[in-house]
């Protein structure tokens, strides 16, 4: 009798254990492959005059490299770089109009370009720049550069945007047709769960060679990103609405499993993932999807509205995420005001404010700026649901809430509505 009970208990434990392993699997993945993180954005180049660069509102003298072609047309650009005690890295671009420009990187951020090793020359339209963290030598970052090809309309949109976002009185842009694209090279690995192949890795957002989390005010996530996609991929997208997720916090829903991070190496050599029965914490939206329904409070923080209440009136909808603390957001307001004045009969605009604590001041700001379209409040949960990872951030949908574009400039909204109107005539 006792033996029968013991056998029954053992079988019951085995049954539970077997069921658990079917529902929850854990994998340790070596990140020993490479994938390109595609960024469909141009890095603006500034004209280099003599031996000084314009950083913010200051002119900063620099020491040029030996044999630097001072007689050529040269430029420089900035990128996020926290590997040498600064927030920005600077790269000189010698002979930027040519097919083979040369890149000089001030890797130690001392404004001296003569003590940083050999430059990198474009070959077949591309160049790769690798560097180590000055404080953690094992931390390595590799960036791939290419000429950023754009048509006339895109160039016009970039000029409009950059004039708004960069106000240094002395800085002079090159034409956007000479700008570069910068695509990080991520270390990735492959694994298989429930019969599905996945690609996993990390995007080193601040280019310091170290994988880490980072927040603003303990709430808004600006840290490095987990990259996760179905299939074996050699190209990934870091954006939260595509392949990018928060490290440790997000539970991502895929076709046959909800997946989360359990452990990772700060140098990006391995990661341990598991399938989980926890509900997904993020919605992966992309162009062509139907925007998920959500509720929001009006700017008075009392009345709640459903965004789908705007559905079916025959108008496009532009949903803007902004804050008075965001310079780029504030600088876009005149363009939004013009857009609404010209296309208000065909377009609803919903501006959702985030992270402004004094709503009375926000309401006065809205009145003063004549923001006469719909105004509401976003939340951290809503930002996560819709993949809002920067400000300003916009989503353009049609009358049935099918997503047309994400992170779209007002000038391109005008262009889309105008073309759509012309096609219906």
| Model pLDDT, residue 321 | 95
Query: In the structure encoding, which two tokens stand for residue 348, read together?
Result: 């609803």
ω into 392 cis (within 30 of 0): yes
Judge whether 139 and 267 are in contact, CB under 8 Å. Answer: yes
Rounded CA-CA distance 158/318 in Å is: 19
Tokens 């013009």 belong to which residue? 338
| pLDDT tens for the chain, residues 1 to 425 | 444 444 444 333 333 333 333 457 899 999 999 999 987 667 889 999 899 998 877 889 999 998 899 888 999 999 888 765 667 889 999 999 999 999 999 988 899 999 998 999 999 999 999 988 877 788 889 999 998 777 776 677 666 666 655 555 577 888 888 889 899 999 999 999 988 999 999 988 888 889 988 766 666 667 888 889 889 999 887 665 466 777 877 788 787 888 999 999 999 999 999 999 888 776 567 788 899 889 999 988 888 999 998 887 899 999 999 999 887 888 889 999 999 999 999 999 999 999 888 999 999 999 999 999 999 999 988 887 887 867 889 999 999 999 999 888 888 898 888 887 776 65
| Model pLDDT, residue 95 | 95
pTM: 0.65
Task: State which H helix or E strand residue 12 sits in.
Answer: helix 2-23
| Model pLDDT, residue 5 | 43
| Model pLDDT, residue 216 | 63
Nearest to 359 by CA among 288, 309, 307, 297: 297
Rounded CA-CA distance 222/261 in Å is: 18
State the sign of the Cα–Cα–Cα–Cα dihedral 44, 48, 49, 55: positive
| Model pLDDT, residue 161 | 60
What torsion do the CA atoms of 149, 154, 156, 158 make, to the nearest 10 degrees? -80
Burial of residue 277, with CB atoms counted within 10 A of its CB: 0-12 exposed, 13-18 middle, 19 or more buried: exposed
Judge whether 95 and 102 are in contact, CB under 8 Å. Answer: yes
Report how far Cα 290 is from the mean position of its chain's Cα atoms.
Answer: 21
Judge whether 225 and 203 are in contact, CB under 8 Å. Answer: yes
| Model pLDDT, residue 308 | 92
Rounded CA-CA distance 365/202 in Å is: 39
| Model pLDDT, residue 219 | 61
Supply the angle between the helices 327-343 and 152-165 in degrees, to the nearest 10.
Answer: 130
Nearest to 143 by CA among 213, 98, 63, 77: 77
> Domains of the chain (ranges plus CATH)?
26-36+184-276 (no CATH), 45-178 (no CATH), 295-423 (3.40.30.10)
Judge whether 81 and 73 are in contact, CB under 8 Å. Answer: no
Q: Any residues with CB less than 8 A from the CB of 404 and at least 6 apart, and which?
A: 287, 316, 396, 397, 398, 416
| Model pLDDT, residue 206 | 84
Q: Where are the beta strands (DSSP E) in 10-119?
A: 26-30, 33-37, 42-43, 46-47, 52-55, 58-61, 75-80, 88-94, 102-105
Q: In what order do the strands lie in the sheet with 258-264?
A: 26-30, 270-276, 258-264, 252-253
Rounded CA-CA distance 185/204 in Å is: 9
| Model pLDDT, residue 13 | 39
Report how far Cα 41 is from the mean position of its chain's Cα atoms.
Answer: 10
Do β-strands 270-276 and 258-264 pair in parallel, antiparallel, or remain unpaired? antiparallel
| Model pLDDT, residue 2 | 47
Burial of residue 106, with CB atoms counted within 10 A of its CB: 0-12 exposed, 13-18 middle, 19 or more buried: buried
> How does DSSP classify residue 280?
P
| Model pLDDT, residue 30 | 97
């Amino acid at each position: 009798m006792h033996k029968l009970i013991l056998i029954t208990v053992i079988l019951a434990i085995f049954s539970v254990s077997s069921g658990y392993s079917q529902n929850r699997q854990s994998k340790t993945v070596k990140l020993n492959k490479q994938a390109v993180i595609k960024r469909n954005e141009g890095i603006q180049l500034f004209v280099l005059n003599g031996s000084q660069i314009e950083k913010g509102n200051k002119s900063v003298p620099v020491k040029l490299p030996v044999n630097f072609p001072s007689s050529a047309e040269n430029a420089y650009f900035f990128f996020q770089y926290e590997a040498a005690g600064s927030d920005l890295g600077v790269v000189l671009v010698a002979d930027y109009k040519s097919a083979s420009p040369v890149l000089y990187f001030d890797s130690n951020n001392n404004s001296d370009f003569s003590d940083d090793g050999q430059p990198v020359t474009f070959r077949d339209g591309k160049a790769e720049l690798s560097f180590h963290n000055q404080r953690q030598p094992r931390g390595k970052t590799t960036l791939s550069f290419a000429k950023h090809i754009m048509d006339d309309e895109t160039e016009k949109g970039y000029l409009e945007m950059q004039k708004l976002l960069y106000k240094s009185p002395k800085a002079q842009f090159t034409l956007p047709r000479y700008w570069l694209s910068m695509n990080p090279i991520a270390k990735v690995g492959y694994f298989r769960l429930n019969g599905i192949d996945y690609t996993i890795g990390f995007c080193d957002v601040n280019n310091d060679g170290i994988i880490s989390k980072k927040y603003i005010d303990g709430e808004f996530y600006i840290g490095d990103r987990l990259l996760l996609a179905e299939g074996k991929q050699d190209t990934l997208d870091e954006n939260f609405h595509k392949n990018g997720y928060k490290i440790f916090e997000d539970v991502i829903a895929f076709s046959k499993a909800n997946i989360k991070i359990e452990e990772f190496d700060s140098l990006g050599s391995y990661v341990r993932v598991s399938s989980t029965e926890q509900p997904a914490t993020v919605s992966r939206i992309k162009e062509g999807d139907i925007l998920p329904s959500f509720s929001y409070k009006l700017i008075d923080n009392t009345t709640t509205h459903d965004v789908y209440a705007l559905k079916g009136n025959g108008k496009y909808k532009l949903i803007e995420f902004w804050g008075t603390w965001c310079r780029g957001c504030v600088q876009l307001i005149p363009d939004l005001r013009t857009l609404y004045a010209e296309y208000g009969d065909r377009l609803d605009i919903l501006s959702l404010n985030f992270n402004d604590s004094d709503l009375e001041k926000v309401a006065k700001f809205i009145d003063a700026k004549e923001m006469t379209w719909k105004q509401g409040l976003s939340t951290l949960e809503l930002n996560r649901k819709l993949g809002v990872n920067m400000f300003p951030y916009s989503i353009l949908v049609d009358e049935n809430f099918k997503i047309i574009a994400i992170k779209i400039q007002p000038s391109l909204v005008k262009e889309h509505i105008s073309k759509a109107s012309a096609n219906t005539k």
